[in-house]
Structure 1
Amino acid sequence: MYLLTAVSAVAALVGQVLSQGAPIVPFPTSCSGIAAPRYPYTIDSGWQVTKVASGLRQPRTIIFDPLGHMLVLQASFGISVHTFGADGCINSTKTLLQSTALNHGLTLTPDGKTLYASSQTTAWSWTYDATAMTISGQKTVITGISQGIHSTRTIVVSPKNPNLVLVSVGSNSNWDNPTIDPNVGRACVKVFDMSTVPANGYSYNTGGKMLGYGLRNEIALAFDPNGHVWGAENSGDDFRRTINGQSTDIHIDNPAEELNYLGDPAAPLQNNWFGYPTCFTVWEASNFRDNTALRTGSQFVVTPNSTFNDASCVGRSNPPRLSFPAHMAPISNAFDAQGLNLYITFHGSWNRQPAQGYMVAEVPFKKNENGTYEPVAPADSKTGYKTIIGSQNPGGCNSPGLTMSSCWRLAGLSWDLAGNNLYVSSDNQAQGEIFVLRKTA
């Protein structure tokens, strides 16, 4: 009986795809058999939320195939695929691929026929069958990715140019000084043409084109309606500002996390440098008493000298278009269908007391007269976003490890095909959870 019900539900969704374009998944008010949320949260009055999955293993990334099935990369486990019933709850779950190497990256071409995933060192592709929910024909497409403290490799397909695949690689330490040279192949985002993959795959360092470098750990990557890329960056830890030999701890509120405009992946800019490991971004300007010209969104260097100082960053490094408080750790981002809001998951801080993050932020965007998109708030704003859902007491969250925490660790983020439901995962190793959010008005 359960199998027949699941098959009927899938058939109904397929029918909706054929007749309407995108399957409409109802918003569930509750889902039976799903454990209650493990950690307390608060939600904005304009939104509602329901937990739809529990017991997953560190769900890091969520995507949807053309039939409305939800694919989830579970770190150090593999990829699962989930279907929805008429009540909007998950009614079947299948393991698509088991692999302990996979830890974050997952993406699908718009036609739903090619799936990509990544480990710390390698990216692969498979032929995907959405109807059968199967994969076949594994191919190695990128190899030789450097290892380091940042092990996740975001991989995303360009929606405007599906042959182009972007892969981000973070720094191998807090201060990865060699990455001032883009050829090092770390702290950067590169674009690879999958229509011309070499027989043994691209070498990350020597293949592809550089979209942007000087990006300490640009995990969150999203495309605006023009197909241009916006990245959210995890910035540095444990900073001290040193002036004339006098050192001041500024790490509680600086450097800021960043929202960067990386540009068109089909036409990468030359020398598209975003500052790391030299120029960082101010969140709390009062910490910089030696330079009163600095404000939120300005760039600074940790130890100014006669050769290179704060002013030297201007005109050399691309400053962020918007900033966020330090150590909130952005993981995923996604635009709504109109491109008028960008949503970002913040994993939460481990080296700041009180802690902050552990939330989903909404960043209002606007479309300019020339057709480009950008945040509504100016670059020096501290109020260019709002929390739509977050930990009930983020300041009390204790996170001694990447996925260990006394609070949820928000990670994956994706709209369903209809653009009505926003799915969000928590990869806390105590319990992997997925929630669905929807605006109430």
Structure 2
Amino acid sequence: MKTNHVARTALALGLSASVAVAQGTACATVLVPTYSPPSVAAGWQAQLVAGGLTKPRSIEFDSTGALLVVESGKGVTRQTFTDNKGTCLIASQSTLLINDTTLNHGLALSVDGKTLYASSVKSVFAWDYDAKAGTVGAKPRTIVDNMSNTDLVTRTLLISKLKANTLIVSRGSADANEVKAETLSNGLSQIRAFDLSKLNATSDPFNYNTDGAVLGWGLRNSVGVGEHPITGGIYAVENSIDGVTRNGKDIHENNPGEELNFFGNLSVVNKDPPNYGYPKCFAVWNVTEIPQNDGLHIGSQFAVDEENLTDEKCNDKYVEPRLTLPAHYAPLDIKFDKEGSTAYVTFHGSFDKTNPVGYRVSSIAFDAKTGDPVAKANSTDFLTDILSNDAKSVCPGACFRPAGLAFDAAGRLWMTADSTGEIYVLEKLDGTPTATASGTIVTATGTAKNAAPAVRVGGWGLAGLVAVVGLALM
């Protein structure tokens, strides 16, 4: 796999450090991660700008540039920064915008920015939102209901830019519900789109199991959902099963692969929604690990129990992924740049693998005009690492775990790390990077501070920065 590997940023930073100026701008305080700093790709700069948050997941920018963050088990907070350009950002204020401990992942803003949506395991809620004042209405409206299950409880939200007033909601399901997921009307393991123009102030909420347009089903847990900015194509990254066996043989180390699936765009909704295989068929990542593997290739569908369902029937009946991602990487978000030429994916990382994998943000090249990935469906070298943990042997306990992504108005990519309660900012630098030099770390003039315990300013961890200019190692 091409990972665009870069040198570790292993420079030790003291509590007081005299450091260089990044991009000609002095930043007063440096927030230093408590773990080994991550590596950054050639041509990119990355900085840690916030710590001390509570499991930050999805993020959105409002029209004033404030960052809205779902802190799982806490609610939605509104974070503002003093922006000194580049990646030099200093925390200025943190406000608990919505105090609701049931909110755990999903977040979206209406196209006009006046309605904020967030999700619990059971429901999607909507609040009137005033970006200038930084306030929400006193009482939320329930928009979608009836989504509860006991595991895989995130409900990802996406407001379409192509089709106004359409809310896309992804719902996974616990593996204990495998049989129920085979029935479309149960609403499990699906992605559905809801026309919000059909609701008014007195309307009952949509019932997830029976309402909305089904974009796809047979999806174990499509946590990351994104819309291509040019074509409107809907893509999702899928977390596949763990602990899989095939005809009695343990093949879980390298199979099944995670998935990048395509669902078309919202201008045409399929009346016979495609099924992507769960819980019967899964994507091949490592062919040689699978017994009786004749005819299988990377990305094709294989049956867990070949005695009752053949691989041939899996591939005839179910949709193969557009690209297959490495097993156990656990993708959580996908965001496209404004040109539509690149998608960025957060990989939360494995939790039960012998040799931990994932724990990175990577990019995938797209054809901006067609909205299709450049790589062929059976490719294995289409991921380019942008920000990654090198010392994966200490993961997941002592490294960051990427979760949510968002682009700001300046084109910078922001990332949450839920396990460490942090936010990073990444910026693509101008010019062509040198591909033969070691990676270097550049920090702004100021005082270095450990990320934990966080320095408290306005009720949260003081933002600082570790500006990392990555130069690739071949």
TM-score by length of 1: 0.87
Change in Cα spacing, 1:424 to 1:377, as seen in structure 2 (3 Å) is same
Distance, in Å, in 1 between the alignment partners of 2:285 and 2:187 is 28
Counterpart amino acid of 1:208?
A: G
Provide the secondary structure at the position in 2 that maps to 1:93.
strand
Deviation string 1:289-325 (CA, Å, 9 cap, x unpaired) is 41232111111001112x5210112232111011111
Q: Deviation of residue 62 (structure 1)?
A: 1.0
Tell me the residue number matched to 1:138. Answer: 140
Tell me the residue number matched to 2:289. Answer: 287
Distance, in Å, in 1 between the alignment partners of 2:225 and 2:385 is 19
Q: Deviation of residue 372 (structure 1)?
A: 2.5
Distance, in Å, in 1 between the alignment partners of 2:25 and 2:423 is 14
Distance, in Å, in 2 between the alignment partners of 1:30 and 1:385 is 34
Determine if the alignment matches structure 1 residue 218 to structure 2 residue 214. no
Counterpart amino acid of 1:338?
A: E
Counterpart amino acid of 2:401?
A: R
Whether the 8 Å contact between 1:240 and 1:248 is mirrored in structure 2 is yes
Tell me the residue number matched to 2:463. Answer: none
Whether the 8 Å contact between 2:246 and 2:291 is mirrored in structure 1 is no
Q: Deviation of residue 158 (structure 1)?
A: 0.7
Deviation string 1:147-203 (CA, Å, 9 cap, x unpaired) is 121011101111122311011110122661221111111100111111112723111
Q: Deviation of residue 440 (structure 1)?
A: 1.8
Distance, in Å, in 2 between the alignment partners of 1:80 and 1:290 is 51
Tell me the residue number matched to 1:38. Answer: 34
Distance, in Å, in 2 between the alignment partners of 1:141 and 1:83 is 28
Counterpart amino acid of 2:427?
A: R
Q: Which has the higher contact order (CA 8 A, sep 6+)?
A: 2
Tell me the residue number matched to 1:151. Answer: 153
Determine if the alignment matches structure 1 residue 200 to structure 2 residue 201. no
Distance, in Å, in 1 between the alignment partners of 2:177 and 2:323 is 23
Provide the secondary structure at the position in 2 that maps to 1:287.
coil
Change in Cα spacing, 1:389 to 1:314, as seen in structure 2 (3 Å) is same
Determine if the alignment matches structure 1 residue 393 to structure 2 residue 391. yes
Distance, in Å, in 1 between the alignment partners of 2:42 and 2:83 is 26
Counterpart amino acid of 1:82?
A: Q
Q: Deviation of residue 267 (structure 1)?
A: 2.5
Whether the 8 Å contact between 2:153 and 2:173 is mirrored in structure 1 is no
**309-318 or 29-38: which moved more?**
29-38
Provide the secondary structure at the position in 1 that maps to 2:32.
coil
Whether the 8 Å contact between 1:30 and 1:51 is mirrored in structure 2 is no
How big is the alpha-carbon RMSD for the aligned residues of Structure 1 and Structure 2? 1.8
Distance, in Å, in 1 between the alignment partners of 2:23 and 2:196 is 36
Whether the 8 Å contact between 1:282 and 1:298 is mirrored in structure 2 is yes
Tell me the residue number matched to 1:23. Answer: none
Counterpart amino acid of 1:229?
A: I
Tell me the residue number matched to 1:416. Answer: 408
Tell me the residue number matched to 1:48. Answer: 45
Distance, in Å, in 2 between the alignment partners of 1:374 and 1:351 is 33
Tell me the residue number matched to 1:14. Answer: none
Whether the 8 Å contact between 2:59 and 2:404 is mirrored in structure 1 is yes
Determine if the alignment matches structure 1 residue 434 to structure 2 residue 432. no
Q: How many residues align?
A: 399
Distance, in Å, in 2 between the alignment partners of 1:104 and 1:27 is 34
Change in Cα spacing, 1:357 to 1:164, as seen in structure 2 (3 Å) is same
Distance, in Å, in 1 between the alignment partners of 2:177 and 2:364 is 29
Provide the secondary structure at the position in 1 that maps to 2:204.
coil
Distance, in Å, in 2 between the alignment partners of 1:436 and 1:204 is 35
Whether the 8 Å contact between 1:187 and 1:216 is mirrored in structure 2 is yes
Q: Deviation of residue 33 (structure 1)?
A: 4.5
Q: Deviation of residue 341 (structure 1)?
A: 0.6
Distance, in Å, in 1 between the alignment partners of 2:27 and 2:304 is 50
Determine if the alignment matches structure 1 residue 239 to structure 2 residue 236. no
Distance, in Å, in 1 between the alignment partners of 2:23 and 2:238 is 31
Distance, in Å, in 1 between the alignment partners of 2:315 and 2:106 is 33
Q: Extract unaligned runs of 5+ from structure 2.
A: 1-21, 431-474
Tell me the residue number matched to 2:305. Answer: 303
Counterpart amino acid of 1:63?
A: E
Deviation string 1:77-99 (CA, Å, 9 cap, x unpaired) is 11111223241333222221111
Counterpart amino acid of 2:173?
A: S
Tell me the residue number matched to 1:17. Answer: none
Change in Cα spacing, 1:31 to 1:59, as seen in structure 2 (3 Å) is farther
TM-score by length of 2: 0.81
Whether the 8 Å contact between 1:96 and 1:134 is mirrored in structure 2 is yes
Tell me the residue number matched to 1:274. Answer: 276
Whether the 8 Å contact between 1:54 and 1:434 is mirrored in structure 2 is yes
Distance, in Å, in 2 between the alignment partners of 1:132 and 1:36 is 32
